[in-house]
Structure 1
Amino acid sequence: MFETRTLPPDLESVREEYAPGALVVDVARDFDTIPPEAAENLGLVVESLSPAAYPKEWLPDDAPQALRRYASSDFTIGMPEHGTVTWTDQTTPPVVLVKYRAKGTPTDFLDFLIAEALVQAGNDDVPEQFLPFFGAQYRELADAIPLGPSEVYQVAAALFDGWVGLQTRDEFASWEGRHDRLYDAWVDAGERLDDRLASLPRLVATDRLSFAEATEFACSAIKHERDLPAPFSALDTAAYLDHGATYAVQWAQKTFEQLADARDDISDAE
């Protein structure tokens, strides 16, 4: 199921710089979450496995099953919010997994995604999933967001993605002149977001995009250092980088209070 991937020289250089020893493997089938019995096959290619587990008290009563499984002692690799490339540090050494769906991804962009995963895997401050980032504050976040559990999950994953982007984007920018192919892929992917970013408030206001979807899109743009519209621009700050989950919860509380006030104003005007 797992086959070691041969890396081009610039990607090999990124691995040596950020996550020396990390494995990069192709996965023979597509997945959101690899079944635990299949994930344990990683034990054949790594030195050791250390499945993560987190307190169930961190989770709201209506938390999605995927998050409950991740918090449990099951060896859980990959979550619904993870894209074409994911990584785990529940192994020694860390492993970057390239999903089967990557076969349709342009080479330069795919290699950037692998490079991004290597940068994250080599950063001791970045966990592989949002639950340890929020910890017990995930309940506070859920209380602040008047949406269903799946949308709360989506917003949480997006907010975490944005915070990670604040951690990593300076590294991507530094690749100009060193890893130009990967740098150009980072820039190109960011430029492709600009038109949609500008229209996010209108799309949400006209119910053509949910708030959770808009948050996901905006936060994905943070790692590309693009200009964000309000209220998402408040996430592209040093305060968020420094205060993490506490700031994210406060942002959610303030944002939804403002949305509620705006709806009240419209009702009063009518």
Structure 2
Amino acid sequence: MFEERSLSPAVDAVRAEHAPETLVFDVDRDFETVPPAQAESLGLFVESLEPARYPSAWLPADAPHLLARYAGSDFTIGMPGDGSVVWTRQTSPPVLLVKARVQGAPESFIDFLLAEALVQVGLEVPEHFLGFFEDSYRDLDAAVPLDPNATYQIAAALYDGWVGLQTGPIFAGWDDDHPELAAAWHDAGSRLEGRLSGLPGAVARGETDFADATELACAAIKHASDHDYDNGHDQPLELPAPFAALQTGAYRDHGPAYAIRWAEKTFRALEDTDSSGS
């Protein structure tokens, strides 16, 4: 199921700089979550396996089944919303898994996804949003008046945005050192720009639901180019309200507490808008 992947010189250089011990494998099938039996076969390639486990008290009673399983004792790699490249530090050394779905995508874009994942491994950020929110995930659930799957999607998006606040400045420094990767980063950002500008209107017209809008906006955060997210310098992607409040140093510094406060204020404002329009 797993085959070691050859890396381009640029990606290998990023690995050496950020996560030198990390192993990278192609997976011969697509997946959201690798079945535990197959995941455990990674033991043939690594020194040890240590499945993550989280307290059940962190989860609301109606949490999606996959999230409850992830928090439990099963060796779980990959969750909905993880994208085409998945990484884990539940193995020693860490592992990146490249899903079969990337076949046919431009090699430059795949290289960027690999480099992005290696940077994330090097930052030692949590592997999943549950490790980011911890017991405050119940507070986020209380702040989001949507179904459990939509709450999951918003939590995953908010976590992705928080990570993007840390990786974006690193990507911005690649123009000189890794121009191929920088070009792919800029290209991916430019493809999002038009979709972002029309996002508030699409939500207001019911063409895009709020969870999808949050996912798109938070995915764009890593494409802000400036090293200081509070100084207003050149940022090729400016998020529309209410998502602009997430593109800040305050979110980077305060993490889950800021995200929950943002959700409380945002949904209260949406409810007030609905009430005044009815």
Shorter chain as denominator, the TM-score bin is over 0.9
SS of the residue 1:79 aligns to:
coil
**Aligned equivalent of 2:71:** 71
SS of the residue 1:26 aligns to:
strand
**Aligned equivalent of 2:232:** none
Inter-partner Cα distance in structure 1 for 2:11 and 2:271: 47
Inter-partner Cα distance in structure 2 for 1:182 and 1:153: 30
> Does residue 149 of the first structure (1) align with residue 160 of the second (2)?
no
> Shift of residue 265 of structure 1?
1.2
Within 5 Å, which residues of 2 pair with 1:109-148? 109-124=109-124, 126-148=125-147
Inter-partner Cα distance in structure 2 for 1:170 and 1:15: 17
**Aligned equivalent of 1:205:** 204
**Aligned equivalent of 1:232:** 243
Structure 1, unaligned runs of 5 or more = none
**Aligned equivalent of 1:31:** 31
SS of the residue 1:192 aligns to:
helix
SS of the residue 2:39 aligns to:
helix
SS of the residue 1:104 aligns to:
coil
Inter-partner Cα distance in structure 2 for 1:185 and 1:108: 6
**Aligned equivalent of 1:250:** 261
- CA-to-partner distance for each residue in 1:106-152, whole Å, 9 max, x for gaps? 1000100000000001112x111100100011000000000000000
Inter-partner Cα distance in structure 1 for 2:6 and 2:21: 14
- CA-to-partner distance for each residue in 1:198-233, whole Å, 9 max, x for gaps? 000000000000000000000000011121000000
**Aligned equivalent of 1:175:** 174
Number of residue pairs matched by the alignment: 266
Inter-partner Cα distance in structure 1 for 2:28 and 2:194: 35
SS of the residue 2:175 aligns to:
coil
Inter-partner Cα distance in structure 2 for 1:30 and 1:261: 42
SS of the residue 1:97 aligns to:
strand
**Aligned equivalent of 2:54:** 54
Structure 2, unaligned runs of 5 or more = 225-236
**Aligned equivalent of 2:183:** 184
Inter-partner Cα distance in structure 2 for 1:42 and 1:223: 30
Inter-partner Cα distance in structure 1 for 2:8 and 2:204: 45
SS of the residue 1:176 aligns to:
helix
**1:116 counterpart letter in structure 2:** E
Inter-partner Cα distance in structure 1 for 2:105 and 2:39: 24
**Aligned equivalent of 2:86:** 86
SS of the residue 1:96 aligns to:
strand
SS of the residue 2:26 aligns to:
strand
Return the TM-score normalized by structure 1. 0.98
**2:208 counterpart letter in structure 1:** L
SS of the residue 1:82 aligns to:
coil
Identity %: 59
The list of structure 1 runs, each at least 4 consecutive aligned residues, that deviate by more than 4 angstroms after superposition, is none
**Aligned equivalent of 1:241:** 252
**Aligned equivalent of 1:214:** 213
> Shift of residue 88 of structure 1?
0.4
**2:92 counterpart letter in structure 1:** T
RMSD: 0.6
Inter-partner Cα distance in structure 1 for 2:274 and 2:33: 38
Inter-partner Cα distance in structure 2 for 1:47 and 1:102: 28
> Shift of residue 105 of structure 1?
1.3
- CA-to-partner distance for each residue in 1:66-118, whole Å, 9 max, x for gaps? 10011001000000111111100100011011001111211000100000000
Inter-partner Cα distance in structure 2 for 1:45 and 1:102: 22
SS of the residue 1:3 aligns to:
strand
> Shift of residue 8 of structure 1?
1.1
Inter-partner Cα distance in structure 1 for 2:183 and 2:34: 32
SS of the residue 1:265 aligns to:
helix
